[in-house]
A = this chain, B = another copy of it.
């Protein structure tokens, strides 16, 4: 059989992270390429207690089909949290439960984008979002990341000149891959520009709760009096990644369409872990648990940054205020892809920066490091090996 695939699949390539992880077969390999939360961040005792309670008292409820919108008590609780924590008070917004935050990006694009439309995004950008855009056969235009977020002039220029711009995708807090946080001034500017040009915003915020330094900044969603922001949140980093529970918080007309698209896609998100997330928020102290996770990442990031200052002083990197990642730019004389392969030969896996560029040909001499998954010992040893890999060029 000679298979003919849809044109939307043409630009979809396997995740570089996956490919790197596949090569990491050796037990001694040090994985800085993952995005997994630290295992000690999972509230295992609570998960066990809640599981026993659900299977004792609500088993049939979680085992039968649910509705596409999600488990109503969890929806209500998350909507209340958006109001209490982020001052999101518009009546037109509602919460939908999704199969991870990835599905929010996919569903938003599914309901909004026609082939040939234009999406604007961070550059570099989370590769899972880039692949969604590619899969809808749209044009992708990147806006350069500066130390305080998007280059606003570039954004305005694109909004002025590009045709059929429908969406802006941004990760304002501890962006993946750069770790950069968008300043409040730029959040306001982004909102004002998108409002002016009638563009919807996907505000992807999987790491927002994981700030371990500096002052929390209000999400763009908190300014959204016009109903242009689709906020995406996740339990992956605060409860567990494998449970696949995320949520969107979006204006009702958009949410109504997302419900239809979700019916088509997977009917509904597994009910058990929706109830789990709800019970956890009800009976345990979510904020205290998040504070506990922040401490883990504060320590691990400081350990990694300290080691980088010692062993990678020829590189440039920003010290992140939260999230899971450090973005490390190599000296200009070093070929980044070659360096990443040499690092892998030295048993340290990092993600090449071109994974996050709009096209693989886009120039990028940086790579991404993750500090949540490796142990403390691995962080120290791995960065030392990265330093050795760099010195070997001399």
- Tell me, yes or no, whether A278 is within 8 Å of chain B by CB: no
Chain A residues 90-129 with CB under 8 Å of chain B are 99-100, 102-103, 106, 110-115, 128
Does B65 contact A42, Cβ atoms closer than 8 Å?
Answer: no
Count this chain's copies in the assembly. Answer: 2
9 A-B pairs besides A3-B200, A272-B272 with CB distance below 8 A are A2-B198, A3-B253, A6-B113, A14-B260, A18-B263, A65-B241, A103-B266, A131-B260, A272-B273
A270 in contact with B253 given A36-B65, A51-B55, A260-B9 (CB within 8 Å): no
Closest to A240 in B: B63
- Tell me, yes or no, whether A12 is within 8 Å of chain B by CB: yes
Does A64 contact B240, Cβ atoms closer than 8 Å?
Answer: yes
Residues of chain B within 8 A of A9, CB atoms compared: 110-111, 257, 260-261
Closest to A13 in B: B260
Residues of chain B within 8 A of A42, CB atoms compared: 59-60, 63
- Tell me, yes or no, whether A307 is within 8 Å of chain B by CB: no
- Tell me, yes or no, whether A48 is within 8 Å of chain B by CB: yes
- Tell me, yes or no, whether A369 is within 8 Å of chain B by CB: no
Category for how many chain A residues contact B? 35 or more
Residues of chain B within 8 A of A266, CB atoms compared: 99-100, 102-103, 106, 244, 265-266
Q: Provide the bound-state CA to CA distance between A259 and B269, in Å.
A: 19
Residues of chain B within 8 A of A295, CB atoms compared: none
Chain A residues 1-51 with CB under 8 Å of chain B are 1-9, 12-15, 18, 34-37, 39, 42, 44, 47-48, 51
Shortest beta-carbon contacts, A-B, top 9: A63-B240, A242-B271, A99-B266, A244-B270, A65-B241, A12-B260, A1-B227, A39-B60, A63-B242
Q: Provide the bound-state CA to CA distance between A281 and B113, in Å.
A: 42
Does B198 contact A1, Cβ atoms closer than 8 Å?
Answer: yes
Q: Provide the bound-state CA to CA distance between A227 and B44, in Å.
A: 44
Question: What distance in Å separates the Cβ of A138 from its nearest Cβ neighbour in chain B?
Answer: 10
Does A1 contact B39, Cβ atoms closer than 8 Å?
Answer: no
- Tell me, yes or no, whether A76 is within 8 Å of chain B by CB: no
- Tell me, yes or no, whether A135 is within 8 Å of chain B by CB: yes
Question: What distance in Å separates the Cβ of A193 from its nearest Cβ neighbour in chain B?
Answer: 15
Does B228 contact A128, Cβ atoms closer than 8 Å?
Answer: no
Chain A residues 230-259 with CB under 8 Å of chain B are 236, 240-244, 251, 253-254, 257, 259
Residues of chain B within 8 A of A272, CB atoms compared: 242-243, 272-273
Question: What distance in Å separates the Cβ of A261 from its nearest Cβ neighbour in chain B?
Answer: 7
Could you list some 29 contacts between A and B, CB below 8 A?
A: A1-B251, A2-B198, A3-B253, A5-B112, A7-B114, A9-B111, A9-B257, A13-B260, A14-B260, A14-B263, A15-B263, A18-B263, A42-B60, A48-B55, A51-B55, A63-B242, A99-B266, A100-B266, A102-B264, A128-B264, A131-B263, A135-B261, A242-B268, A242-B271, A242-B272, A244-B268, A244-B270, A265-B266, A266-B266
- Tell me, yes or no, whether A315 is within 8 Å of chain B by CB: no
Question: What distance in Å separates the Cβ of A354 from its nearest Cβ neighbour in chain B?
Answer: 18
Q: Provide the bound-state CA to CA distance between A131 and B262, in Å.
A: 11
Residues of chain B within 8 A of A34, CB atoms compared: 65
- Tell me, yes or no, whether A67 is within 8 Å of chain B by CB: yes
- Tell me, yes or no, whether A132 is within 8 Å of chain B by CB: yes
Residues of chain B within 8 A of A290, CB atoms compared: none
Question: What distance in Å separates the Cβ of A13 from its nearest Cβ neighbour in chain B?
Answer: 8
- Tell me, yes or no, whether A226 is within 8 Å of chain B by CB: yes
- Tell me, yes or no, whether A331 is within 8 Å of chain B by CB: no
